[in-house]
Chains A and B, each alone.
Chain A
Amino acid sequence: EVQLVQSGAEVKKPGATVKISCKVSGYTFTDYYMHWVQQAPGKGLEWMGLVDPEDGETIYAEKFQGRVTITADTSTDTAYMELSSLRSEDTAVYYCATVGILGGRSFDYWGQGTLVTVSS
């Protein structure tokens, strides 16, 4: 059974950095890209970027370029998303999600989400 388990909720001050983890099981970590998606309170989903765990290559959405770093640790089958220079607008639930396990280019398995609250 494919599972993505994310780290717990975080509260950060403006200007700080947050790093969220996503530990996977039930499939070969290096076979599929890991993506991250942001969902602000009461808002829709927004794609942030991806990492290829096989070689560490990343692609980021322009909106988050320069502030987001997505990495993968193949020794622990864990992906990470780090967001820096936090501001109030970054308060959101962040999801990791795989693409392609079920075929095609859809987000087929999701983590449970991690709430990040940015507040002074």
Chain B
Amino acid sequence: QSALTQPASVSGSPGQSITISCTGTSSDVGGYNYVSWYQQHPGKAPKLMIYEVSNRPSGVSNRFSGSKSGNTASLTISGLQAEDEADYYCSSYTSSSTLHYVFGTGTKVTVL
């Protein structure tokens, strides 16, 4: 079981929108609506931003949105702000026999 594939880096100017992709297989992303996204600032624990593909926990800005098509999930950050600069990871439940959850490779978001 390999990690889900994310772009290594994405950048944008303040106010712009960016999208991070997360590509898996029919055994994980494509097979379940259990895709979630996490934001991680340096030296901090990950923070849940999106769960079940497109749901936002209370307190998470509505500038963050999620979607899925086939084996690829996406996280969109609109109205990019300086505090959005962080690492972002996707995750999915998986039917793999060797593990129950798989994470993405991670994407560094830079606000120019």
Contacts and interface: CB of A to CB of B under 8 A. Distances in A.
Given A62-B98, A104-B55, A111 B3 contact: no
A108 B100 contact: no
Interface residues of A, number: 23
Interface residues of B, number: 26
Contacts of B100: 47, 50, 59, 61
Contacts, number: 70
Most chain A CB within 10 A, of B3, B99, B101, B106, is at B101
B46 A45 contact: yes
Given A46-B103, A105-B101, A107-B101, 17 more contacts: A44-B104, A44-B105, A45-B89, A45-B103, A61-B98, A61-B100, A62-B99, A102-B57, A104-B34, A104-B52, A105-B32, A105-B52, A105-B93, A106-B48, A106-B51, A106-B91, A113-B45
